[in-house]
Amino acid sequence: MTEGIRVRVQSQYLPDQSSPRDDRYVFAYTITISNESGRTSQLRTRHWIITDGRGSVEEVRGDGVVGEQPRLSPGQSFQYTSGCVLTTPIGTMHGTYRFWRDDGTYFDAEIAQFSLAAPVRNDDAN
């Protein structure tokens, strides 16, 4: 939690969209952002750091999330689902959301590192 903004993440491997033979591993992640502070804040930008199982890092920056810049009053939450494609069966993501307040101040809400992991198949273990 940063400045009263709580960020929760759930990730999921999507086997139907993945192709391990082609080094394509697709993950979905659902984010819930809750304003537990006493002040309204608007998410304006995002910054993700995505690291695959080989240690390769990709940074993603942009406006809002899924085309929106949610404005959260005290007690409100916003949830969305997005995705990520890796060339390895494991990886991690973390980053920040920049929030602006009505008085013109801003802060970066931390998104704690979370894992992206495809389950090990029996034929992979041999």
**Domain extent listing, the chain:** 5-124
Q: Which residues pair with 77 in a beta bridge?
A: 34
Q: How far apart are CA 55 and CA 47, in angstroms?
A: 18
The three-state (H, E, C) secondary structure of the chain, written as one string: CECCEEEEEEEEECHHHCEHHHCEEEEEEEEEEEECCCCCEEEEEEEEEEEECCCCEEEEEEECECCECCEECCCCEEEEEEEEEECCCEEEEEEEEEEEECCCCEEEEEEEEEEEECCCCHHHCC
pLDDT for 123: 58
Are 95 and 46 in contact by the 8 Å Cβ rule? The answer is: yes
End-to-end CA, the chain? 42
With a threshold of 0.85, does the pTM exceed it?
yes
Dihedral sign (CA 114, 59, 64, 41): positive
According to CATH, what is the number of the domain 5-124?
Answer: 2.60.40.1470
Q: Which positions of the chain have pLDDT values less than 50?
A: 124-126
